[in-house]
């Protein structure tokens, strides 16, 4: 009788565990979709991740998204509250750089946002790549952020991370979105200064230090 009860309890625990795993898979936890790439980025770095040590950027700023999530709009609100001069453009190309001296790209994928912008993920990547190349050619400073935390990780968002972060002069990352060390690894390997912050509101503390 005891063995039978134990077996039933064990079966119940196993079923609960499988159900929980299924829920995690459906939201794709940080690093869950590409553990090999994340592990490689974090483990192959030489040296340590360093934060920004001196100001290098100038206004005005062109602020855009890499993935069409609403995160860039929240960063825009923070910049507005700081009195920073910036232009917000979620579909910016090199033709929209104007007199900007710094490009800020907030990375985060959103299928809803992509649909509203009338663009797919590959088209968005091509847009941001063209924009960044234009910014580099024009001598702009490039700041890349990931501020959406763990909720803004998964197959879609991760598609944008490496190609954009590798182009940064400076990065700002909300810690909970980099539990697998993907972004820290990219920045360490490329020698990009990066500040890891606790919440998006902390952007208001670290971002102004990048500007002369």
Tokens of 202: 């902390």
Count of CB atoms within 10 A of residue 164's CB?
A: 25
Distance CA 76, CA 59 (A): 14
Handedness of CA 57, 62, 122, 36 (dihedral sign): positive
Distance of CA 136 to the CA centre of its chain: 20
pLDDT at residue 39, as a whole number: 28
What mean pLDDT, rounded, does the chain reach? 83
User: Is 148's pLDDT higher than 50?
Assistant: yes
Sorted by where each begins, the domain ranges of the chain are: 2-30, 40-210
Count of CB atoms within 10 A of residue 119's CB?
A: 17
Residues composing the chain: 212
User: Is 85's pLDDT higher than 90?
Assistant: yes
pLDDT at residue 40, as a whole number: 29
Count of CB atoms within 10 A of residue 192's CB?
A: 21
Which residue bears the tokens 């001069």? 85
Distance CA 158, CA 152 (A): 9
Count of CB atoms within 10 A of residue 112's CB?
A: 10
Distance CA 175, CA 163 (A): 20
Q: What is the mean pLDDT of residues 158-187?
A: 97
User: Is 146's pLDDT higher than 50?
Assistant: yes
Q: Report the predicted TM-score, pTM, of the whole model to 2 decimal places.
A: 0.79
> CA 121, 110, 207 angle in degrees (round to 5)?
105
pLDDT at residue 185, as a whole number: 97
User: Is 54's pLDDT higher than 90?
Assistant: yes
Distance CA 46, CA 191 (A): 9
Local confidence band at 183 (pLDDT 50, 70, 90 cut-offs):
very high
Local confidence band at 97 (pLDDT 50, 70, 90 cut-offs):
very high
Tens of pLDDT, residues 1-40 = 433 333 333 334 333 333 333 322 323 333 333 333 332 2
Q: What is the mean pLDDT of residues 154-165?
A: 97
- Cα dihedral angle (149, 152, 157, 162), rounded to 10 degrees? 0
pLDDT at residue 204, as a whole number: 97
pLDDT at residue 130, as a whole number: 98
Q: What is the mean pLDDT of residues 153-170?
A: 97
Q: Is the peptide bond before 180 cis (omega within 30 degrees of 0)?
A: no
Half-sphere exposure of 162 (CA within 13 A, CB side): 15
Tokens of 102: 């710094």
Local confidence band at 66 (pLDDT 50, 70, 90 cut-offs):
very high
User: Is 57's pLDDT higher than 70?
Assistant: yes
Cα-based distances in Å from 171 to 88, 118, 141: 19, 28, 11
Q: What is the mean pLDDT of residues 188-211?
A: 97
Domain spanning 40-210 has what CATH number?
3.40.50
């Amino acid at each position: 009788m005891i063995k039978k009860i134990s077996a039933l309890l064990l079966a119940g625990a196993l079923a609960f565990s499988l159900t929980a795993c299924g829920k995690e898979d459906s939201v794709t936890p940080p690093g869950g979709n590409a553990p090999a790439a994340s592990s490689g980025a974090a483990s192959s770095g030489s040296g340590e991740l360093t934060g920004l040590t001196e100001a290098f950027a100038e206004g005005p700023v062109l602020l855009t998204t890499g993935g069409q999530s609403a995160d860039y709009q929240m960063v825009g609100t923070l910049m507005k509250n700081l009195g920073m001069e910036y232009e917000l453009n979620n579909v910016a190309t090199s033709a929209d750089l104007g007199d900007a001296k710094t490009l800020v790209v907030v990375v985060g994928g959103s299928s809803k946002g992509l649909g509203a912008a009338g663009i797919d993920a590959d088209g968005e990547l091509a847009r941001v790549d063209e924009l960044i190349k234009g910014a580099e050619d024009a001598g702009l400073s490039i700041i890349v952020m990931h501020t959406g935390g763990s909720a803004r990780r998964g197959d879609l968002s991760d598609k944008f991370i490496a190609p954009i972060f590798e182009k940064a002069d400076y990065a700002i990352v909300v810690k909970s979105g980099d539990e697998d060390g993907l972004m820290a690894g990219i920045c360490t390997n490329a020698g990009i200064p990066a500040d890891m912050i606790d919440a998006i509101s902390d952007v208001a503390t670290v971002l102004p230090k990048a500007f002369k």
